[in-house]
Amino acid sequence: MRILESPLSEETVRSLRLGEIVYINGPVITGRDEMHIRAIEKAKAGEKVPDEIIGSVLYHCGPIMTEIDGKKSVVAAGPTTSARMNSLESEMISRFHIRAIVGKGGMSKEVAETMAKEGCVYLAATGGAAVTLAEGLYAVDGVEWEDLGMAEAMWKFRANKLGPLIVAMDSKGNSLYEKVNESLRR
C-alpha cells in the first residue's frame, strides 16, 4: 500500500505508475464546475485566489456537509464526473500547478497532455463510495466561495488514508480509460 503525502512533489507525481493503488494523507481541496470557473475568472482579472489551490490535490467532489454547534463536518464525499471539467482543467493545472486530480470517469486527451507537461496525475476514486471516502477526510479546515452552494463550494479538507485511489492517468500522457476503451468488445 502506497500512501502519498500532500502537498505532492513533482518527483512523487512523476514516479506514479498507471494502475497503481494509492492513498492520500494531508491537505485536499474540492472543486467542481463553478469553482473552476471562479478560480480562472479571478486569476484572469488579476485577483487573488485562495492559497490552498496552488500545488493542490484537487478532488472533483461536491460533499454533503453538516454543521453541529458551529462545527462543520463531512457526511458523504464521493467523486463527481470529471469529464464535465474537461474544458476548464488544462487551464487550472497550468495556472495553479495542480499536482493531482481525484475524480471519476477520467478526463480528455487534452487534459492528459497538460498533465504530462506540467507534472500532474489523475487518481480515480470509486464513484458512489461516499461514506468510505468521507472517512478518509478527517478534518475540515474551512470553506471558500460558499455562495456557490454546498456542492460547488471549495472545501478544504485534511485527509488520512483517502482512498483507495487508482492511478488512472499518469504524468506521461497514458490513460487507463483510453487503454480500456481501445480494447472494448463492442
Partner 1 sequence: MVVEKLLRLSNTRLPHDIGWALEAAAGWETNEIAYSQLGAIMDNVKKAEFLGRPMCQDTGIPVFYVSGKFDSSIAGLIAEGVRKATKSIPLRPNTVDPITRENSGDNLGEGMPIIHYHPTDDDFTEITVLPKGAGSENMSKLAMLNPADGIEGVKRFIIDAVLNAGGRPCPPTIVGVGIGGTADVCMEMSKEALLRPLDVENEDPVLKELEEELFIKLNESGLGPMGLGGSSTVLGVRIKKAYCHTASLPVAVNIGCWATRRATARIKPDGTVEYIQGGE
Residues forming the site for partner 1 (CB under 8 A): 19, 21, 34, 61-64, 66, 75-78, 80-81, 83, 104-106, 124, 126-135, 149-151, 164, 166, 168, 176-177, 179-181, 183-186
When the beta carbons of 61 and 112 are compared against partner 1, the nearer one is 61
| Shortest separation between residue 122's beta carbon and partner 1, angstroms | 12
Kindly name the residue from 16, 31, 35, 36 that is annotated as catalytic.
36
**In the complex, minimum distance from the CB of residue 37 to partner 1, in angstroms, rounded to a whole number:** 10
Q: Which is nearer to partner 1, 18 or 55 (CB)?
A: 18
Q: How large is the C-alpha radius of gyration of the chain?
A: 15
Query: Smaller CB distance to partner 1: residue 111 or 118?
Result: 111
Catalytic, 97? Answer no
Q: Directed axis angle between helix 86-96 and helix 109-118, to 10°?
A: 10
Q: Output the smallest distance, CB 124 to partner 1, in A.
A: 6
Which one, of 167, 158, 168, lies nearest residue 25 by Cα?
158
Nearer to partner 1, 116 or 129 (CB): 129
Q: How far, in Å, are 51, 94, 161, 176 from residue 54 at the CA level? A: 6, 10, 22, 26
Q: What CA–CA distance (Å, rounded) separates 93 from 53?
A: 10
Q: How many CB atoms lie within 10 A of CB 18?
A: 15
Q: Which residues contact 130 (CB under 8 A, 6 or more apart)?
A: 63, 64, 76, 77, 78
As measured in angstroms, the least distance from the Cβ of 125 to partner 1 is 8
Is the link from the previous residue into 27 a cis peptide, with omega within 30 of 0? no
Given the DSSP bridges, would you call strands 21-30 and 2-5 parallel, antiparallel or unpaired? parallel
Catalytic residues: 36
